[in-house]
Structure 1
Amino acid sequence: MSLDQTIRIERWTPLSRAAILIAALVLVLLAAGPLLFSNNAIDKLTTLFIYVMLAVCWNALAGYGGLVSVGQQAFFGLGAYAAVRLADAGLSVYPALVIAAVLVAIVSLPISAFMLRLKGGEFAIGMWVVAALCHLLVNLDSLVQGETGTSLIALNAYEADTRHALTYWVALGSMTAILAILFALLRSRVGSAIQAIRDNEEAAASVGVRVMSTKRIIFVFAAFGAALAGALWLATAITFQPKTYFGVQWTAYMIFMVLVGGLGTFEGAILGAVIFFVIEAWFGASGVWYLVGLGATALVFALFLPRGLWGWLERRYDLALLPLGYRVTIGGQPPSRERTPQGGPAAPAPTGNAG
């Protein structure tokens, strides 16, 4: 058998095709959730969908873009605030949730012009400063009444069952859209450029990558996702208190989910959100010990599983349920997948995989 006949380059595998089919079936089942589950179960699933959105967007920013932010609560809080403002202006409440996220994404454009000039720790701290500034500005709005806050009163127009179902469907649709857009983005040339910038910004620029515009795409996308999650959280909680929505704990949750699931892996962020959701459901009522447990768990993963659970599974068993790159197989035997410490694909060896 000639060498040409034994080399095969592929992106989708039988396992990944099966995974996509199963995911589609799960989404169909979840779409019927309000007809099958109680309001309590619907509310919990809505929370899970919001966590998935937060995790995948922060992972896109830090895991794939190399932009580690500790200020994503700025966009989370602004999304909720914009939804309150739009609803107060008379806009129908559920369209207001999505439009609020779009407006925050637009606001993030001028913010990116300044923040993307910063690198490393400067960017991380700079984003925290942006979040603190947004918190202070929102407090000045007479509608919000400082830390007293306000409520999404427009939701009272809906009966309880209808409100639970509509919020659930909007959250499910938003999560699905975020995942689909990000998946398509990371599989495109823009996705390759984003990861090239993360690995070496100067080298990426030297081969023609438009560094600032590419970084701006992922920055605005992450801002949109966080804002949409914040608006949806408001729809579940109804009340808006700036101190809660602009609290740094939201970014801490994002970091925890991505670190545990697998930084720089598409599936890992989803897995991390599920793990965090389960931990919160079981131990969330434990008060300060719950936070201590989250910190200790994150520390253990950082020390012993720096690639996260999915990163470890992927490396050990060569799993690729949602492949972003290509695989090169020789003689029907794909070698083990190699990844950089940040979780992105390493340069493929002559007989290796391009993750």
Structure 2
Amino acid sequence: MRTAITVERWTPLSIASVALAVAVLIGLAFGPLVLGANAVDELTTLFIYVILAVMWNALAGYGGLVSVGQQAFFGLGAYAAVRLADFGVGVYPALVLGALLVGLVSLPISAFMLRLKAGEFAIGMWVVAELAHLLVNLDSLVQGETGTSLIALNAYAAETRHALTYWVALGAMTALLGTVFALLRSRVGAAIQAIRDNEEAADAVGVRVLRTKRIVFVLAAFGAGMAGALWLATAISFQPKTYFSVQWTAYMIFMVLVGGLGTFEGAILGAVIFFAIEAWFGSAGVWYLVGLGATALVFALFLPRGLWGVLESRTGWRLLPVGYRLRFSDGGSPLPHGRTASVPVHAGGSTSQG
């Protein structure tokens, strides 16, 4: 019997999912008006976790750049916000400008780091984080490990401060999610994934490897910097050893491994799961961290595709369509599980950069 092949991206399920996501984001915008202070703070924390997970997933899951030093940009984002506020910049504009400065600083860093491969890149990023930590400690404003505070936040009443931080976090999360989604659906997104799969082959077909890797590297740095600045706005105090701790990258890795490395939905799911685990077991101290490490190890060994990756392979669900896929049908009826395969190519059918 004849087999029909259909190339698809949008499906009724994905259209409904995107519409629901937009409705949820609109509803969340009214959060501070209807929720209590504790719920507002908890949701702000969740937004920051989503940013961290999506940014690390874009870098490692899609770009193949596994970093254990993203805490460098997280800490620099918080530090830049403190510095800008001390210079007289408005506290909330300072959060965004601080993240932009981190993105700018990541450009010269990328010139060196992106020439490293695999484990060399991962360790090199950890070295960058340690170096950034040491340099920040030299600033007299920070006073070494004693740290400082974002004193300008005291100009706002507590309720106003929590609401403004919530809205900035929600806006940043929405903008970054939209940016990553649009990037991955573009020719650059196809090039990023081609480099991840086989850098030499991608270069051979015309992909501008270094430039493409730099785009995702800078975006991930900016996102981590934004998350660090937002965390500062929730905590107020800035202590370098806290913000430059490798545990931030460990959290990112955990969220992405559990949710699904290299899947857009998986990073979001992983952030929600991590948020719930922290809420329930965060008070367990060192055993909480041991549990996170053991869970991440189990997923890496036995469920390398994460929860969403397994669910997607069994059901064929794709809520947020990043790439294309082929649907094979027999006589007009889809074969079991849709017999689908994701094909991360540009609409023009090319992964090359013009």
1:1-355 mapped onto 2 (5 Å cutoff):
6-329=4-327, 330=329, 331-333=332-334, 335-338=338-341
- Per the TM alignment, residue 66 of structure 1 is displaced from its structure 2 partner at its CA by 0.4
Deviation at 1:309, TM superposition (A): 0.1
Show the counterpart of 2:351: none
Contact 1:315 1:336 in 2 (8 A): no
CA distance in 2, matches of 1:304, 1:99: 42
Counterpart CA distance in 1 for 2:111 and 2:32 is 43
Residue in structure 2 matched with residue 352 of structure 1 by the alignment: none
Quote the Cα distance in structure 2 between the aligned partners of 1:181 and 1:218: 11
How far apart are residue 336 of structure 1 and its match? 3.3
**Structure 2 counterpart of 1:333, one-letter code:** P
Partner SS state of residue 303, structure 1: helix
> Where do 5+ consecutive residues of structure 1 fail to align?
340-344, 348-355
Specify the code of the residue in structure 2 equivalent to 1:336.
R
Shift of 1:208: 0.3
Percentage of identical aligned residues: 78
Q: 3-state DSSP class of the match of 1:81?
A: helix
Task: Report deviation, 1:9.
Answer: 2.1
RMSD over equivalenced CA pairs, Å: 1.5
Q: What residue identity is the alignment partner of 2:281?
A: F
TM-score (norm 2): 0.94
The Cα of 1:116 is off from its aligned counterpart by 0.2
Distance in 2 of aligned mates of 1:129 and 1:332:
55
Rounded Cα–Cα distance in structure 2 between residues aligned with 1:326 and 1:227? 31
Cα distance in 2 for partners of 1:168, 1:62 equals 28
Q: Which runs of 5+ in 2 are unaligned?
A: 346-354
How far off is 1:7 after superposition?
Answer: 3.9
Shift of residue 337, structure 1, vs aligned partner? 4.1
Offset at residue 304 of structure 1 (A): 1.9
Q: How far does residue 300 in structure 1 lie from its aligned partner after superposition? A: 1.6
Contact 1:97 1:232 in 2 (8 A): yes
Q: Give, in whole Å, the separation in 2 of the partners of 1:56 and 1:154.
A: 30
1:338 Cα deviation after fit? 4.7
Q: 1:305 deviation in Å?
A: 1.1
Name the amino acid aligned to 2:339: S
Name the SS of the counterpart of 1:67 in structure 2.
coil
Q: CA deviation at 1:29?
A: 1.1
Q: How far did residue 136 of structure 1 move?
A: 0.1
Aligned residues: 340
Paired with 1:86 and 1:346, the residues of 2 have a C-alpha distance of 41
The CA deviation at 1:2 is: 8.5
Q: Give the letter aligned to residue 267 of structure 1.
A: E
C-alpha contact (below 8 Å) 2:77/2:229 kept by paired residues: yes
Mean Cα deviation higher: 111-120 or 327-336: 327-336
Residue type matched to 1:140 in 2? Answer: L
Q: Are the equivalent residues in 2 in contact too, given 1:153–1:238 (CA < 8 A)?
A: yes
Q: Distance in 1 between matches of 2:341 and 2:9?
A: 16
Cα distance in structure 1, aligned partners of 2:209 and 2:162: 43
